[in-house]
Amino acid sequence: MTLAGEGNQSASRGSAGNQAALQDWSGMSPVEIQRRFRNIRESLAKAQLDALLVCGSQYSGFEGAIRYVSGFEIVHRHVYSLIPLDGEPCLVFPVEARWIGDKKKPWIREHVWAPIPGKWICDHAAARNWRRLGVHGMAHVMAVRDYAELSGGPCELVGFDAEFDLLRAVKSEDEIRAVRRSIAILMEGFRVLLEAYQPGRTEAEIMAPAVEKFFAGGAGPRMMNIVLSGTCGEAEAHFKVPGERRVNRDDLLLYSLEIAGPEGYWVEFSRAICGASLSTRTQRMADCYPDAMEAARRLMRDGEPVANVHRASAEIFARNGFALGHLSGHSIGTTMIEHPAIGEKSTAILRENMVLSFHPQVVDDKGEACLYTQDTYRVGQSEGECLARVPWKIFAGPEPGAENW
């Protein structure tokens, strides 16, 4: 990285050199990268915004927006990408993050290191007479010190979360390939998890071989592997980190496996594991699941209101006396949870090649026991495609034919 002279607020700026000589480390083609910036700028123009500020942090699931617009993989702390309606974009790092992360990888080549990124962005906007700045991640991702600077600056800050998520919701062929690669890594992890399942081991020991597969496959720190568990054929209705609790044969384990592969695309998957019979009420929940999941999948098609996907599943559970614990799913991409959500009040319309995580959690009327499943789908022209070729069933250990998942 060759450093240029000092910029505003003692911020250093750098460039990696010849654009034509760049190696694409992201797995995304130049055509795909150009498509993204074209869509972003069309959306900015429509909203009468001067620029878009994309916020990212190391927190798992919140780093993906930066990866999407720049190809940069956040290793620690936080980063911003500033994309003007006209002109070249730049990445803005806190000065203490200068040596964190591989700065050769991003396709955005202008890099700034600022003591307080929010002040640098504020001064940069003022110098260009910007009046309206769209922000993705203002409520949940932006550092407080940077918000304090920007909120007192010359630009109106315009929340742009839903708009940004919708413009990246329909995935390109490059992206769909990356999603399928993530799924392949996830399925290998689930296969070895089933091999590791054995009463007497801890929840963490059963999970550990899967995590090893995920990391070796390129997920790195981009994973969130949690569990619902309990005894006597039931799982308590709250997620937790797999820990030192030793598993009994009649325990119900619902590992929620959530990872992003080498290109940064998140996928999610869960199936029930139990070495004995389910409790009566959990079995009643299980009896509903195949029909509920299939009803939702059939409606994951181009032009369908996303709320109908939720209702198709929720109504089957309701007819059997069960309610869903929360929203039944969401769009997913380089950010773990993207707009739109899959819920009764969702207003978005599905388009072909959107990717959805569908994960209805059924909770009994006392809030004591639950059952959960999770699949990642591609929205199709006439129906959804479940990307994991794993049957819906209660697993009790290694599965014949699992190598073909």
Q: What is the pLDDT of residues 197-229, one digit of tens each?
A: 999 999 999 999 999 999 999 999 999 999 999
Specify the pTM: 0.89
Residue 154 or residue 90, greater confidence = 90
Q: Which domains does the chain have, with CATH numbers?
A: 2-167 (3.40.350.10), 173-404 (3.90.230.10)
pLDDT-derived band of residue 26, with 50, 70 and 90 as boundaries? low
Residues 125 and 50: beta-carbon distance below 8 Å: yes
What pLDDT, in 10s, does the model give residues 124-154? 999 999 999 999 999 989 999 999 999 989 8
**Which residue do the tokens 């993989």 mark?**
73
Question: How many Å apart are CA 104 and CA 15, to the nearest integer?
Answer: 9
Residue 10 pLDDT greater than 70, yes or no? no
Residues 333 and 171: beta-carbon distance below 8 Å: yes
Strands 90-94 and 369-372: unpaired
What pLDDT, in 10s, does the model give residues 154-182? 899 999 999 999 999 999 999 999 999 99
What pLDDT, in 10s, does the model give residues 318-337? 999 888 867 899 999 999 99
| pLDDT score for 368 | 87
**Which residue do the tokens 């992003």 mark?**
260
Residues 6+ apart with CB under 8 A from 315: none
What pLDDT, in 10s, does the model give residues 216-262? 999 999 999 999 999 999 999 899 999 999 999 999 999 999 999 99
Range 267-281 average pLDDT: 97
Which residues on adjacent β-strands are paired with residue 202? 246
Residues 274 and 394: beta-carbon distance below 8 Å: yes
| pLDDT score for 58 | 85
Question: How many Å apart are CA 108 and CA 121, to the nearest integer?
Answer: 16
* CB-facing half-sphere around the CA of 297: CA atoms within 13 A: 16
